Amino acid sequence: MLAKRWLISTFLISLVVFLVCTLPAALLVGSLPPVHLAGQPLQFSAAQGSVWNGKASLAWKQLSGTLSWQLDWREGYPGVAFRTLGAVPSSGWAAASAEALLVRELDVSLSAPMLRQFQPDLQLGGTILAKSVSFTFRDKHITDASGSLAYTGGDAKWRRDDAVVVPPLRGVIKQQPLGPEVVIEDDASTMMATAKIDNNIGALTVYRAWAVRLGLSQGGSADDVVFETSLPLWPE
């Protein structure tokens, strides 16, 4: 009798483990809550594989690609190592709990000409890179932000003006009391722009030094503000 119960228990445990390990990726993708970035939905579809090792198609605005992931435990959290291919290649690690979303070692490569989809007046060559970006999203705030940004340099043109050559740019992400901030500088450490997130508001400030590089300004101080914009990145 004991042997029979042991066999039944072993079978049931094995069955549960098998079912859990082979849960389809479509189940995970279908249960995800709506995700909006800059007011536009991030959409997932065509999921394949399992919850623990799978892939799916994703789209945001005019951008599309594929997302693959694999279960990976870090910092005491059951997270996923992920990679995207397509319009915006990226890789990193992420985990979510009831209290927070963790992102670690995020690398992103963005072709600068794609920015014209969001700012038609700007034509920019080169590549924008995010390297080793890490942060925690908790209570609708970003904390523990770190990493770096870089621009490889390239030709730039504003509206119908003549094209100019923009040098390589760089920036280090630093955590501030209300959110992350990055100061964009050239190789001579001249400040070109600052970008920050205060609570849920993303803000960009551009200085005259950048306008001079584009041939749009002469005279004045390099740190004069020539452009500012902000927008909510997620519901407050």
> Would you list the DSSP string of 181-211?
EEEEEETT--EEEEEEEETTEEEEEEEHHHH
With a cut of 60, say whether residue 54 has pLDDT above it.
yes
Q: In terms of pLDDT, which residue wins out, 235 or 105?
A: 105
> Would you list the DSSP string of 7-40?
HHHHHHHHHHHHHHHT-BHHHHHHHPPPEEETTE
Q: Under a CB-based contact definition with an 8 Å cutoff, are residues 192 and 186 in contact?
A: yes
Q: What's the sign of the alpha-carbon dihedral 30, 34, 38, 40?
A: positive
> CA 79 → CA 88, 123, 212, distances in Å?
22, 38, 45
Q: In terms of pLDDT, which residue wins out, 157 or 146?
A: 146
Average pLDDT, stretch 64-77?
Answer: 88
Which helix (DSSP H) or strand (DSSP E) does residue 104 occupy?
strand 100-111
Tokens matching residue 206: 């551009």
Q: Under a CB-based contact definition with an 8 Å cutoff, are residues 80 and 71 in contact?
A: yes
Neighbouring residues of 186: CB distance < 8 A, sequence distance ≥ 6? 167, 168, 169, 170, 192, 209, 213
What is the percentage of the chain residues whose pLDDT exceeds 70?
84
Helix (H, G, I), strand (E, B) or coil at 73: strand
Mean pLDDT of the chain: 83
Q: pLDDT digits over 171-209, tens only? A: 999 999 999 999 999 989 999 999 999 989 999 999 999
Q: What is the pLDDT of residue 21?
A: 47
pLDDT category at 41 given cuts 50, 70, 90 is: confident
Q: What's the sign of the alpha-carbon dihedral 235, 60, 167, 156?
A: negative
Q: What is the pLDDT of residue 15?
A: 38
Q: Whole-angstrom Cα distance, residue 95 to residue 100?
A: 8
**Domain residue ranges of the chain, discontinuous segments joined by +:** 97-236
Q: In terms of pLDDT, which residue wins out, 50 or 110?
A: 110
With a cut of 60, say whether residue 159 has pLDDT above it.
yes
Helix (H, G, I), strand (E, B) or coil at 117: helix
Q: Under a CB-based contact definition with an 8 Å cutoff, are residues 158 and 133 in contact?
A: no
**Residue reference for tokens 């694999």:** 70
Q: Whole-angstrom Cα distance, residue 126 to residue 106?
A: 20
With a cut of 90, say whether residue 228 has pLDDT above it.
yes
Q: pLDDT digits over 89-145, tens only? A: 999 999 888 888 899 999 999 998 888 777 788 888 999 999 999 999 998 899 999
pLDDT category at 38 given cuts 50, 70, 90 is: low
Q: What is the pLDDT of residue 96?
A: 83
